[in-house]
């Protein structure tokens, strides 16, 4: 491993495409300028599974790994190790198609600070600045089923220079100067207040240290007493209400939110032209899901997309990213992009996980909804106890009190799964599926 190099970037370093595109978006909000980010920060959520399956590796190939042959084979294990994961990040950065590479603080230390991977690259490095409890998706754990709690592992100084305290005399740092901060609103007064207070502390520290951030807003990870067709309105209002108290110096560069359909997205986008709205990718889904989501989000006003699992689980990540960029530039449509992607796989001798016909299916509930946005998506919940309840019990809605200890707002019909009647295993399965749908 190379020794840390704290020298500043040379004057010949290329301009970061993110800065140029943000200026273009603010100058021409209706233009086609679009920011793509690869979210390679899954090690902040998962453990061994974070680097993803091994069916695609970088050109360097496999890295040595220690396995006892009497226990299992490397192929049987199936997940990349961290060195293989880092090779893929390097290859995507050298490709130069994405604008942002989002990493964990540890990977940021390895690649940005110690290796200097981004010094001569137009790609902007970023790191996850907090890790709320609803992304603690460890195997056999139950944290994702509990109401989200704010938490931060790394400090801003550690993101900027890899140490508890940075030397700020020069104004330049070897690490990242852009972080992702995530919040989860639960429609619970005390918990949402705790979340906002933690965000306030982070914002003030970031402003003092001139650290830029973008804001990720997750959907509630427990029953929030909201009907599905009201959730997007709740999220939109919470975003705008929260940021109304933040002056320009402390505001996020852009948002990262769940795509709830065209009406919800356009409602948020039209409110303030200074607010750059981006969408998160969610679960892997089909290739058509990924390409259509990007196309629809851009068409209805999004100017940023952050894809994690959708890229990391692709059979050929570089080709997948190329298709994403061609779609944002209007040079190819989602259907044509799927066919072109499969053609690349065939030419490379890579066996696709799905046939072309299967990969052209829409499996994302938000994309299945009416393109006018007037239909609310139907979300399938595994082992949903509501399905076994009599009609009278379903009509009664959720119980008066839920695990967070307060009386929720009224709901309509079978708006939410009845968490009180779920077994721990059913709650775990529900939240793991929810996490797969939303975490990029």
Q: Which two tokens stand for residue 132?
A: 């709320």
Between 334-348 and 317-328, two packed helices, what is the crossing angle to 10 degrees?
A: 150
Give whole-number Cα distances, 277 to 19, 51, 238, 328, in Å: 16, 27, 14, 15
The rounded Cα 197 to chain-centroid distance in angstroms is 22
Query: Which helix or strand (DSSP H or E) is residue 325 part of?
Result: helix 317-328
Model's pTM, two decimal places?
A: 0.82
pLDDT in tens, 388-428: 334 333 333 333 333 444 444 444 344 456 666 666 566 65
Query: What span, in angstroms and rounded, lies between the C-alpha atoms of 48 and 59?
Result: 22
Q: Which CATH number fits domain 19-438: 3.20.20.70, 3.65.10.10, 1.10.3720.10, 2.40.128.720?
A: 3.20.20.70
Contacts of 397 (CB under 8 A, 6+ apart): 410, 411, 412, 413, 414, 415, 416
Domain boundaries, the chain: 19-438
pLDDT tens, position by position, 43-78: 999 999 999 998 889 999 999 888 787 787 766 778
Distances (CA, A) of 13 to 16, 21, 68, 117, 208: 9, 17, 46, 12, 26
Closest listed residue to residue 186, CA positions, set 131, 151, 216, 146: 146
Q: What is the pLDDT of residues 310-332, one digit of tens each?
A: 999 999 999 999 999 999 999 99
pLDDT band at 9 (very low <50, low <70, confident <90, very high): very low
Mean of all residue pLDDT scores within the chain: 85
Q: Please determine, for residue 160, whether its predicted confidence score (pLDDT) is greater than 70.
A: yes
Other Cβ atoms within 10 Å of 387 Cβ, number: 10
Residue that is written with structure tokens 């309105």 in the block: 233
Question: Which helix (H) or strand (E) segment is 265 a member of?
Answer: helix 262-271
Given a cut of 50, is residue 344 above it in pLDDT? yes
């Amino acid at each position: 491993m190379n020794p840390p190099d704290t020298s500043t970037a040379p004057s010949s370093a290329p301009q970061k495409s993110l800065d140029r595109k943000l200026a273009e978006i603010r100058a021409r909000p209706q233009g086609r300028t679009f920011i793509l980010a690869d979210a390679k920060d899954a090690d902040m959520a998962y453990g061994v599974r974070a680097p993803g399956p091994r069916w695609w590796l970088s050109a360097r190939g496999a890295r040595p790994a220690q396995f006892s042959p009497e226990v299992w084979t490397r192929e049987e294990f199936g997940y990349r190790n961290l060195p293989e994961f880092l090779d893929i990040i390097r290859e995507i950065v050298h490709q130069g198609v994405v604008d942002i590479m989002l990493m964990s603080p540890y990977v940021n230390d390895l690649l940005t600070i110690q290796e200097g991977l981004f010094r001569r690259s137009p790609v902007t490095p970023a790191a996850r600045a907090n890790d709320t409890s609803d992304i603690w998706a460890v195997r056999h754990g139950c944290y994702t089923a509990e109401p989200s709690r704010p938490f931060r592992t790394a400090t801003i100084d550690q993101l900027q220079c890899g140490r508890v305290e940075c030397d700020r005399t020069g104004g330049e740092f070897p690490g990242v100067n852009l972080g992702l901060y995530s919040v989860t609103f639960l429609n619970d007064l005390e918990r949402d207040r705790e979340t906002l207070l933690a965000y306030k502390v982070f914002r003030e520290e970031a402003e003092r240290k001139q650290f830029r951030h973008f804001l990720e807003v997750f959907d509630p990870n427990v029953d929030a007493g909201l009907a599905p067709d009201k959730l997007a309105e709740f999220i939109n209002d919470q975003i705008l209400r929260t940021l109304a108290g933040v002056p320009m110096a402390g505001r996020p560069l852009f948002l990262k939110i769940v795509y709830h359909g065209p009406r919800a997205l356009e409602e948020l986008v039209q409110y303030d032209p200074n607010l750059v709205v981006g969408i998160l990718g969610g679960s892997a889904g089909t290739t058509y899901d990924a390409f259509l989501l990007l196309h629809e989000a851009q068409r209805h006003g999004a100017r940023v997309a952050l894809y994690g699992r959708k890229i990391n689980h692709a059979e050929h990540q570089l080709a997948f990213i190329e298709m994403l960029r061609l779609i944002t530039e209007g040079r190819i449509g989602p259907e044509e992009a799927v066919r072109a992607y499969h053609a690349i796989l065939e030419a490379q001798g890579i066996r696709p996980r799905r046939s072309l016909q299967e990969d052209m299916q829409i499996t994302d509930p938000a994309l299945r909804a009416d393109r006018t946005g007037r239909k609310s998506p139907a979300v399938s919940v595994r082992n949903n106890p509501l399905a076994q309840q009599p009609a009278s019990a379903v009509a009664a809605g959720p119980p008066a009190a839920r695990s967070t200890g307060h009386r929720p707002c009224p709901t309509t019909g079978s708006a939410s799964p009845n968490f009180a009647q779920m077994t721990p295993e059913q709650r775990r399965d529900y939240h793991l599926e929810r996490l797969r749908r939303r975490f990029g």
